[in-house]
Amino acid sequence: MIWPFRRKSKRRMARIIIEGAINGATRKLVLKAIKQVEEREFPALLLRIDSPGGTVGDSQEIHKALLRLREKGCRVVASFGNISASGGVYVGVGAEKIVANPGTITGSIGVILRGNNLSKLLERIGIRFETIKSGTYKDILSPDRPLTEEERGLLQSLIDSSYEQFVNAVAEGRNLKPEEVKKFADGRVFTGSQAKDLGLVDEIGDEDHARIVAANLAEIDDKIEPITLGKPKKKILGFLPGSSFLFNLAELINMELSSNGQILWLFKP
């Protein structure tokens, strides 16, 4: 049995927003929304991205889900907002077309891994860790000691592998050669206009322009308003003055703490 809303959805457009750092919570929300797009057989998806990036695995899973959705026949267009950098770019290149504002901050194609060496501080206040480990590298990036040269080389090979994955995804998504991507994939950021010159973006325009591009690709009415899926639950404090800043600050702090020692595709100004 085909439900009425499915028939209606065939002439409609879905919209998914990726906002803030890409992490596990974002991945769950976005993957659920993408599944709804597939089940309801939307012919087009407008993907709004306003993110500095995030964790590698979460970005890769969203990117892969977008490619599967396109294989089902859905036309996907990404709209880059204020910022779509690093992991935001990785997710974005899963779209068929990318539209960015002329002043959008994008790029930052690269990988970062950070640990905290607090050994001198700990020594100063008289704190000392006693570590029992099963292997030479089990306590790599521990905060109570600096990295050895062997550990640094091991982590660099890890970063290099992740970087190659990133470059290859951008190359495939943007129909560029990996060598071309590497010319600008050194962590630098660009405006939307600069990104268009590099082939990272297809068109310059706002979200409404991206909506029209998606409608034209799917051959549906370009005057229709998209249906937003995967909306995050509203927080009670969201109604208080200045709460937006507090939540953004809390998100950044939480990202810093939870991602310590993780490989990140994240723009860090």
Beta strands in 59-135 (DSSP E): 75-85, 97-100, 105-107, 112-113
The answer to whether residue 231 is catalytic is no
Instruction: Say which of 138, 183, 231, 235 is annotated catalytic.
Output: 138
Q: How far is CA 250 from the centre of its chain?
A: 19
Which amino acid appears at position 44 of this protein?
Answer: A
Residues 154-190, buried b or exposed e (16+ Cβ, 10 A)?
A: ebeeeeeebbeebbebbbebbebeeebbbebbebebb
221 Cβ neighbours under 8 A, 6+ residues apart: 11, 215
User: What are the angstrom distances between the C-alpha of 153 and each of 113, 147, 158, 259?
Assistant: 13, 10, 9, 21
Q: Which of 79, 84, 86, 259 is catalytic?
A: 86
Length of the chain: 269
What residue type is 111 in one-letter code?
A: V
CB 83 within 8 A of CB 63: no
Known active-site residue 9: no
Name residue, tokens 């595709």: 265
- Residue numbers annotated as active site: 86, 138
